[in-house]
Structure 1
Amino acid sequence: MDFRFTEDQLTLAETVRDYLAGTHGPEVLRRLDAEGNRDPAIWQGLADMGLTGLLVPEEHGGLGLGLLDAALIASECGRAALAEPLVDTAFVAVPWLLAKGQTGDLAAIARGEKTVPLNHPVNPWVTDGAGDALESVDPLRNLAASSGDGVSGPDDKLLNLGALMSAAQLIGLAEAMLAQAGEYAKVRTQFGQPIGGFQAIKHQLATCAVAIEFAKPVVWRAAQALEDGLAGGPVHVSHAKLAATDAAILTAETAIQVHGAMGYTYEVDLHFWMKRAWALAGAWGDRAFHYSRVDDAVIGGALPIGPEHTFA
Structure 2
Amino acid sequence: MDFRFTEDQITLRDSVREYLEGTHTPELLRKLDEHGNRDPQVWNGLVEMGLAGLLVPEDQGGLGMGLVEAALIAVELGRADVSEPIVDTAFVAAPWLAAKGQTDRLGDIAAGELKVALAHDVNPWIADLDQAGAVLSNGALADVASSPVVMDSVDPLRRLSARGALGGNDPLLLDLAALMSAAQLIGAADRMLALSVDYAQQREQFGQPIGSFQAVKHHAASVAVKVEFAKPVLWRAAYALQNGHARAPIHISHAKLAATDAAIFAAETAIQIHGAMGYTYEVDLHFWMKRAWALAGAWGDRTFHLKRIDDAVIGGGIDLGPDRTFASEMIHA
Q: Say yes or no: TM over 0.5.
A: yes
- Structure 2, unmatched stretches of 5+, are 131-147
Is the aligned partner of 1:145 residue 2:162? Answer: yes
1:119/1:148 contact within 8 Å kept: no
Shift of 1:153: 2.3
Is the aligned partner of 1:136 residue 2:153? Answer: yes
| Aligned partner (choices 268, 271, 288) of residue 256 of structure 1 | 271
Is the aligned partner of 1:73 residue 2:73? Answer: yes
What does residue 307 of structure 1 align with? 322
Is the aligned partner of 1:210 residue 2:230? Answer: no
Distance 2:320 2:240 in 1: 16
Shift of 1:147: 4.5
| Aligned partner (choices 146, 165, 179) of residue 194 of structure 2 | 179
What does residue 16 of structure 1 align with? 16
- Structure 1, unmatched stretches of 5+, are none
Amino acid at match of 1:146: R
Distance 2:21 2:165 in 1: 35
4+ aligned runs moved over 6 Å, structure 1: none
Distance 1:216 1:177 in 2: 16
Distance 1:182 1:53 in 2: 35
Worse-superposed segment, 280-289 or 295-304: 295-304
The percentage of counterpart residues that share the same residue type is 67
Distance 2:245 2:50 in 1: 28
Q: Deviations over 1:181-201 (max 9, x none)?
A: 000000101111110011110
Is the aligned partner of 1:266 residue 2:258? Answer: no
What does residue 93 of structure 2 align with? 93
What does residue 142 of structure 2 align with? none
Shift of 1:129: 0.9
Is the aligned partner of 1:57 residue 2:72? Answer: no
1:91/1:165 contact within 8 Å kept: yes
| TM-score, length basis structure 2 | 0.91
Distance 2:172 2:321 in 1: 27
Distance 1:282 1:146 in 2: 16
Worse-superposed segment, 257-266 or 8-17: 257-266
What does residue 46 of structure 1 align with? 46
Amino acid at match of 1:202: K
Worse-superposed segment, 33-42 or 7-16: 33-42
Amino acid at match of 1:56: V
Q: Deviations over 1:77-102 (max 9, x none)?
A: 00000021111110011111112211
1:52/1:109 contact within 8 Å kept: yes
Aligned-residue RMSD, C-alpha:
1.0
Distance 1:37 1:148 in 2: 26
Q: Deviations over 1:183-230 (max 9, x none)?
A: 000010111111001111000100000000000000010000100111
Q: Deviations over 1:233-264 (max 9, x none)?
A: 00000000000000000000100110013222
Please list, as runs of the form range in 1=range in 2, the aligned pairs for 1:226-237 lying within 5 A after superposition.
226-237=241-252
Instruction: State the SS of the aligned residue for 1:89.
Output: helix
Amino acid at match of 2:66: G
Distance 1:273 1:97 in 2: 30
Please list, as runs of the form range in 1=range in 2, the aligned pairs for 1:217-228 lying within 5 A after superposition.
217-228=232-243
Instruction: State the SS of the aligned residue for 1:3.
Output: coil
What does residue 118 of structure 1 align with? 118
Instruction: State the SS of the aligned residue for 1:133.
Output: coil
Number of equivalent positions: 310
Q: Deviations over 1:135-161 (max 9, x none)?
A: 110011111011456xx4210100011
Distance 1:78 1:306 in 2: 35
Distance 1:250 1:304 in 2: 31
Shift of 1:31: 0.4
1:71/1:220 contact within 8 Å kept: yes
Instruction: State the SS of the aligned residue for 2:129.
Output: coil
Q: Deviations over 1:152-182 (max 9, x none)?
A: 4210100011100000001110000000000
Instruction: State the SS of the aligned residue for 1:134.
Output: coil
Distance 2:276 2:95 in 1: 40
Distance 1:303 1:203 in 2: 37
Distance 2:290 2:279 in 1: 9
Worse-superposed segment, 299-308 or 98-107: 299-308
Amino acid at match of 1:15: S
Q: Deviations over 1:40-78 (max 9, x none)?
A: 111111111110000000011000000000000000000
Distance 2:81 2:16 in 1: 13
Distance 1:289 1:261 in 2: 33
